[in-house]
Amino acid sequence: MSYNHLVDRLMLAFALVWLGLGINPWHRTDWVLENVLVLAAVPILLAARRHRLFSRLSWVLIFLFMMLHQVGAHYTYSEVPYDAWWAKLTGRSLNDCMGWHRNHFDRLVHFLYGLLLAYPVREIFLRIAQVRGFWGYFLPLDLTMSTSLLYELIEWLAAEVLGGETGAAYLGTQGDGWDAHKDMALAALGALLAMLITALVNLRWQRDFAREWAESWRVKAPGDGFLKETPL
């Protein structure tokens, strides 16, 4: 499958899921709030497709994360009925088996935010900022932690402005005063694991697949310190 066909199919699948889950969400206001960042990301992703900024792997990782986010937006993160789904499938409560006393879907998605998106972020640093060595692994981790902090601040401000049930549903602390700290820690852990896996793969095969992708589509123009898009 060609690059454009893969990306177009992923985008079409996401659009269909987005429309389906947006028809009758459990809390409309919360769904709108959760999708503000998604709508903001659309022009960025379209530009990334046009300029082939991401590899196929990165597009799949981004797609998986955005699909999970839509599930959380439809039900609200604190009310995603994963335990009921698990019980219907296995006949047992996952929360009881794990000793959990809250809905942990939001914890999962925060962890996957780091695990799934750190690699696409790494590709951006490699291709646009032309980072080398250690910085190609540290900066994606650093940006993941920074954006996770920023998101928690946005959640807090939105909850303060909205107040009531809508604000509580969007914040989704479920009575845990350390909820924001744990979410940020999980995002950082996910990004750290992603970068460790990437480093181990590159070390094992002595190759940097993200950089090879970049160099196959961009070359440095003579006398120019910037990478210009030039098909080889």
DSSP state of 199: H
Instruction: Write out pLDDT tens, residues 145-163.
Output: 999 988 888 877 777 776 6
Measured CA to CA, the distance from residue 217 to residue 211 in angstroms comes to: 10
Average confidence (pLDDT) over 173-181: 68
Question: What local confidence, expressed as pLDDT, does residue 60 receive?
Answer: 96
Residue 163: per-residue pLDDT: 64
Q: What is the pLDDT of residue 115?
A: 97
- The model's confidence at residue 230, banded by pLDDT at 50, 70 and 90, is very low
pLDDT above 50 (res 128): yes
pLDDT of residue 189: 97
Instruction: Provide the pLDDT for residue 34.
Output: 86
Residue with tokens 């190609």: 136
pLDDT band at 219 (very low <50, low <70, confident <90, very high): very low
pLDDT (tens digit, 9 = 90+) per residue, 29-77?
A: 889 988 988 999 999 999 999 989 999 999 999 999 999 999 999 998 8
- Residues 158 and 170 sit within 8 Å (Cβ to Cβ): yes
Q: Which residues contact 226 (CB under 8 A, 6 or more apart)?
A: 220
DSSP annotation of 129: I
pLDDT at 86: 94
- The token pair at 39 is 């709508």
Give the model's pLDDT for residue 210. 66
Around 145, how many Cα atoms within 13 Å sit in the side-chain half-sphere? 10
Lowest mean pLDDT among 80-84, 104-108, 174-178, 205-209: 174-178
The overall longest dimension of the chain from CA atoms, in Å, is 67
pTM, rounded to two decimals? 0.83
What per-residue confidence (pLDDT) applies to 217?
A: 54
Number of other CB atoms surrounding residue 32 within 10 Å: 14
Please give the pLDDT value at position 173: 55
Helix (H) or strand (E) holding 143, with range, is helix 135-162
Residue spans of the domains in the chain: they are: 3-212
Q: Which two tokens stand for residue 123?
A: 């590709």
The number of beta carbons lying within 10 Å of the beta carbon of residue 63 is 20
Of residues 100 and 225, more confidence is placed in 100
* Mean pLDDT over the full length of the chain: 84
Strand pairing category for 227-229 and 218-220: antiparallel
Angle ∠(206,208,213) on CA atoms, nearest 5: 140
Closest CA to 148 of 35, 59, 37: 37
> Rounded to 5 degrees, what are φ and ψ at 84?
-65, -40
**Percent share of the chain, pLDDT over 90:** 54
